[in-house]
Amino acid sequence: MSQGERVASRIVVWTALVVPFLVIGIATYESYLLIGQFAANYLLRQGRDGPAIAIIVVTVILYFAWFLPYFRILSTLGTNPGLIPFGPDDASPLSYRGGLDEFYNKAAYICVSVDEKLPIWCYTCKNWKPDRTHHCSELGRCVRKMDHFCPWVGGCLGETTYKFFIQFLAYAFLDCLFCLITSAVLVAERKRVTGSIPGQWVVAIVLPAVFGFFCFGMLATHIPMLLANRTTIEVLNKSHVVHWLAIGTGADRVAKNTSPGENVWDLGPLLNCKQVLGDSYVDWFLPIRNSPCLKKDAEGEFVFGPVVQRLRGESGLEEKKPVL
Tell me which residues are annotated as active site: 150
Query: What are the two backbone dihedrals, phi and then psi, of residue 148, each rounded to the nearest 5 degrees?
Result: -170, 160
Which H, E and C letters describe 34-86, residue by residue?
HHHHHHHHHHHHHCCHHHHHHHHHHHHHHHHHHHHHHHHHHHHHHHCCCECCC
- Residues near 74 by beta carbon (within 8 Å), at least 6 away in sequence: 20, 153, 154
Minimal CA–CA distance to 322: which of 287, 295, 290, 286? Answer: 295
CA-CA distance, 204 to 187, in Å (whole number)? 9
CA-CA distance, 180 to 265, in Å (whole number)? 39
**Chain CA centroid to CA 279, Å:** 17
**Chain CA centroid to CA 188, Å:** 38
Do 26 and 212 meet the contact criterion of CB atoms below 8 Å apart? no
Do 309 and 262 meet the contact criterion of CB atoms below 8 Å apart? no
- Residues near 129 by beta carbon (within 8 Å), at least 6 away in sequence: 84, 119, 120, 121, 122, 135, 142
User: Which residues pair with residue 109 across a beta bridge?
Assistant: 246
- Residues near 77 by beta carbon (within 8 Å), at least 6 away in sequence: 153, 154, 155, 156, 161
Minimal CA–CA distance to 127: which of 148, 102, 105? Answer: 102
